[in-house]
Structure 1
Amino acid sequence: MEHTAHRALELARYATRRFDRAGLWAMLNPSSIIVVFERPAEWICRKYHLATEGVLAHIVTLPHVTEQVIDELCDDLTSTSVDLSDHRSIESIQLPNPHRESRTAPAAAMN
């Protein structure tokens, strides 16, 4: 199991380096296996089963993800041009904080 965890961390670092070499923006937090990047065309999201949120997408470097998959993803990303002119810049995006309380009032409080 320890080997699998180390492999997932190394693969996440590989993905970030590969995105960088391809001229693509990607973000990886320390000790994380989640690589966040700009949301690509819908066909790429479907092909790789990417999780998306607004203008962002991410991959999780679990054991089924390989260097070959990451390389193919980067090749697909660089072969398409995505028009993000209708979206906010990546730098201005506020990522959801799962530890913060919901802003939605409970139904009982609304009566």
Structure 2
Amino acid sequence: GRELLDLPGAPRPDPGTPAPVRFLPAFDNAVLGYQDRGRIIDDPHRGLSVTGARFVLVDGRVSATWTVEDGTVTVTPLRRLTRPERAEVAEEGQALASFLSDGGSDRVTVGAAPP
């Protein structure tokens, strides 16, 4: 593979710096735009990308899906999230709920990890 850089001359964070939690919309290019998607999504979850699932990235990897209904963002983990990861997902989910409801709600639920 090739190393792709958005800004070749820009400063880089320390390699150990985790990527922030990100909520992606359905059919996002980050998940669908590459032939080799192994850098972002594990094989068992790859089929979700073509069904229109909305993903949550934790440290740059697909780790959960999300939906929104009646102002509440619901996160369904695809793996066990650590306590700090759950807290970061919840915080970002609250910001998303607030944005989607024009400030009317910041409700978020983070479900249990799969067995």
Higher-strand-fraction structure: 2
Larger Cα Rg: Structure 1 or Structure 2?
A: 1
Q: Does TM-score exceed 0.5, indicating one fold? A: no
TM-score (norm. length: structure 2): 0.27
Q: What TM-score does the superposition give when structure 1 sets the normalisation length?
A: 0.28
